[in-house]
Chains A and B, each alone.
Chain A
Amino acid sequence: MSFVVPKESFNGKVLAVDFGKDDKALIVGGESCMPFLSFEGETPNRPVIAHEIQDCSPDDWPDTVKEAYKDVSSDPVAWASHCQDKLNAKAIALRLVSTHPDRIDRSAEDAAKLIKDVLAAINVPLIILGSNHIEKDSTVLVAAAEAASGHNCIIGKAQEGNYKTIVAAALAHNHKLIAMSELDINLAKQLNILITQMGFDKQKLITDPMCSALGYGLEYTYSVMERIRLAGLAQNDQTMQPPILGDVGMYVWKIKETVAGEADVPEWGTLAERGIAWETVTATSMVLSGSNLLIMRHPSAIQNVEKTIDELTSS
């Protein structure tokens, strides 16, 4: 018996979505095989990691990751420039947390102004995220889409409760759109269908099936992502072919493993390494299960995942 490489070929293909402008534009997706199996399909674009910043000081972030940005994080524009110029970020994700009614309840107009300032300071692609407040996001993201008109950004997240206004804004200002549902392949599919039925091009969609941190439901996200990929590739389900987002940082940097000091849990070892490794391994798991785009926080974690992706795409 001699060995024959067991290849699988699929009819379906992940859609390739570009964002950003000019020579800094990026493309995610486009593969015709399961993640990193380049012996049996095309894998034209490596996963992209966007550095997460937010529109106010990250007082709610744990020390390990707050420390990494302490000199710049009081000013979102300086923070964005720092990520681009010092950390070589390929993309930046700006989360408008302060617009949340429970935070500062900053207005949509303020958010729009900040977006213009950030866009003026950077030339890498920008992802604009709301505060995950269904009603507020539908006004904030509409203003954001307008402010970023012409920059080919990714905006999000459109959810079942607010997708109509956000889709319309993305459509009007020619942005890409993140459609987010909660850990259920059928909900993800349904939302993609609803959005495309509004006339939004499926080639401009990014699916966020909801991330979870290692140890906190990671296996659900992992399997939902794998199933979405298989549906898009093996069953050629057109509604399941957008690239997938793994919004890693915000789920990792709040759990006990990234917060609790060594004095409280001596059996867990040093806090800084633990937190960085937690984000690294969560993110690596996400690219293995199908994520094309990651949003991450800690520079060292990002570096380690980039190195892992280097290895995954080298052979």
Chain B
Amino acid sequence: MALTGVQIFKLLPKTNCKKCGFPTCLAFAMKLAQGGADISACPDVSEEAKATLGEASAPPIRSFALGAGEKAVKMGGETVLFRHEKKFVNPCAIALNIKDNDDALEQKASEVASSEIDRVGQKLRVDAISVEYASGDSAKYEAAVKLIADKAPDTAIILNCKDSAAVEAAVKAVAARKPLIYAATEENAEAMAAVAKDNKVPLVASAAGLEALSALTEKIKGLGVEDIVLDSGAGTAGEIIQHNTQIRRSALKKSFKPLGYPVINYVLRDDPILEASIASVAIAKYSSIVVVSNISKWKNLVLFTLRQNLYTDPQVPMQVEQKIYELGEPGADAPLMITTNFSLTYFIVSGEIENSKVPSRLAVMDCEGLSVLTAWAAGKFTAAKIAQFISECGIADQVSQKELIIPGQVAILSGALEDKLEGWKITVGPREANAIPTFLKGR
């Protein structure tokens, strides 16, 4: 629970020595409560007070990495329930579950290793492999874990195994990869916590329902494991949305520490499209690790795209790359239109051009992600800047007639543009995108 300024003041030396840079201990305490100062600025504070304050100022959802190295996935640290309030911070990991006795194990691990694709400038991939202890043979399990770690060298590993002896051997085999252990339960908590603690790896706490789960995380924490991931046993999509909402609300709104951890959801389904649908519930609703039973290129693309959409910053306009986009298969005489690089503007304009079925070129100009009117008002979509972009992008060599169609909203620019773009004809297009098909077809 966050402390108030007065509560913090009681923990300070109350000497008003000013060494912290504030005139009084009370002023310092107030600043601490707001998160605007650090307790270490006070040279005389007791260790006990430091510990109390440290506990109180810890983020409501603990943040740590899944896996090790450059491609480790940061989890937790979330601050809101709805993405319009503030950006969702750490995009969830997507993981593939592979049984240790699966004949296609090597191939599946390789598919994960090569799953990276580029989507609007971001490199996205399947982040982790959950190795399931299905064989009941710990030597076989250890070998499978090693093989998978070898075939997917950058991928995080989740040890899906509730046998603490088998887990221990597997953890030691891939310790450098910081595998996540799935899972500690009521029955094996002591043994699992010992393995996690000794090997400094994170541990999933798995229990049926949030009451039992809260008790279990407290127990595990008491045994010295700090990096905990939650598994509430949510099976159906309904349980996923309800449990995960309650977990995040408890952590953020009630400062309830026993549930202040990232969440893992296994969404295994036989039908791959249904599995994608259930996975999307987990992605949208607060999961930090979503484990699926099968991957394929189309499915990865769908899930990566949803994750990317929901984790974009709602306060920063999404931008598309500045370039000439070809829609349909435009010939040299195809119309050339221009707009700004606000992603929504681009999606709507390009969608309407596609609707028109008239092959066209769309010049998208970098205006820092502003829409047409806003960019114009901000001086980023002016005649001079458009002229410079059109001259420098080399489009003049690709078209048979130099005609540029500008958005109707900025019709006012047409005169100045004709002056600045010598030899070009400037045509004023429609004010609204939905009039584009009629406009293009009527030419």
Contact = CB atoms under 8 A, between A and B. Distances in A.
A261 interface: no
A219 interface: yes
Contacts, number: 171
B339 interface: no
B306 A214 contact: yes
Given A267-B297, A312-B281, A315-B236, A36 B242 contact: yes
Interface stretch (A19-27, A111-119, A146-154, A270-278): A270-278
B134 interface: no
A267 B280 CA distance: 21
B312 interface: yes
A218 B238 contact: no
B41 interface: no
Interface in A199-217: 212, 214-217
A274 B238 contact: no
Interface in B282-334: 284-285, 296-303, 305-306, 308-310, 312, 314, 318
Nearest to A5: B246
A66 interface: no
B84 A273 contact: no
Contacts of A101: 438
Interface stretch (A50-58, A186-194, A302-310): A302-310
Contacts of A273: 272-273, 296, 298-299
Contact of B301 (A5, A223, A268): A268
Interface stretch (A10-18, A81-89, A167-175, A279-287): A279-287
A37 interface: yes
A63 interface: no
B259 A3 contact: yes
Contacts of A141: none
Chain B at the A interface: SS class: helix
Interface stretch (B14-22, B144-152, B248-256): B248-256
Nearest to A300: B273
Given A6-B253, A214-B306, A277 B314 contact: no
B276 A281 contact: yes
Contacts of B119: 215
A314 B238 CA distance: 6
B274 A6 contact: no
Contacts of A308: 237, 274, 277-278, 281
A232 B202 CA distance: 41
Contacts of A216: 347, 351
Interface in B330-372: 343-344, 347-348, 351, 354-355
B84 A268 contact: no
Interface stretch (B160-168, B210-218, B416-424): B210-218
A281 B256 contact: no
Interface in A237-266: 254-255, 257, 266
B250 A284 contact: no
A1 interface: yes
B258 interface: yes
B277 A3 contact: no
Most buried by B among A101, A217, A219, A284: A219
Contacts of B301: 257, 268-269, 274
Contact of B302 (A220, A281, A315): A281
B427 interface: no
B280 A285 contact: yes
Most buried by B among A2, A102, A216, A281: A281
Contacts of B274: 304, 307-308
A4 B300 CA distance: 37
A6 B245 CA distance: 9
B277 A305 contact: yes
B408 interface: no
Contacts of A227: 82, 84
B434 interface: yes
Contacts of A284: 277, 280-281
A313 B239 CA distance: 9
A223 B238 contact: no
Contact of B254 (A6, A35, A214, A314): A6
Interface in B70-100: 82-84
B316 to A, nearest CB: 12
A223 B314 contact: yes
A215 to B, nearest CB: 4
B309 A132 contact: no
A8 B314 CA distance: 25
A308 B213 CA distance: 26
Nearest to A313: B238
B103 to A, nearest CB: 22
A159 B348 CA distance: 17
A37 B250 contact: no
Contacts of B237: 308, 311-312
Contacts of B305: 214-215, 257
Nearest to B209: A3
A268 B118 CA distance: 11
A212 B348 CA distance: 9
B270 to A, nearest CB: 11
B347 A212 contact: yes
A3 B214 contact: yes
A222 interface: yes
A288 B284 CA distance: 8
B277 A217 contact: no
A183 interface: yes
Contacts of B443: none
B123 interface: no
Contacts of B215: 2
A162 interface: no
Contacts of A268: 117, 297-298, 301
B256 A3 contact: yes
Interface in A18-50: 35-39
Given A37-B241, A219-B310, A304-B274, A277 B351 contact: no
A260 B236 CA distance: 33
13 contacts: A2-B215, A102-B437, A183-B344, A217-B344, A254-B351, A254-B355, A273-B272, A273-B273, A281-B280, A281-B302, A288-B281, A315-B236, A315-B239
For the complex of A and B, 9 pairs with smallest distance between CB atoms: A269-B297, A269-B298, A274-B298, A311-B237, A315-B238, A3-B214, A223-B84, A311-B236, A6-B249
Given A2-B214, A281-B280, 13 more contacts: A2-B215, A3-B258, A37-B241, A102-B438, A219-B309, A219-B312, A226-B82, A277-B277, A280-B273, A308-B237, A312-B236, A312-B281, A313-B238
Interface of B: 82-84, 117, 119, 210-211, 213-215, 218, 236-239, 241-242, 245-246, 249-250, 253-254, 256-259, 271-274, 276-278, 280-281, 284-285, 296-303, 305-306, 308-310, 312, 314, 318, 343-344, 347-348, 351, 354-355, 434, 437-438, 441
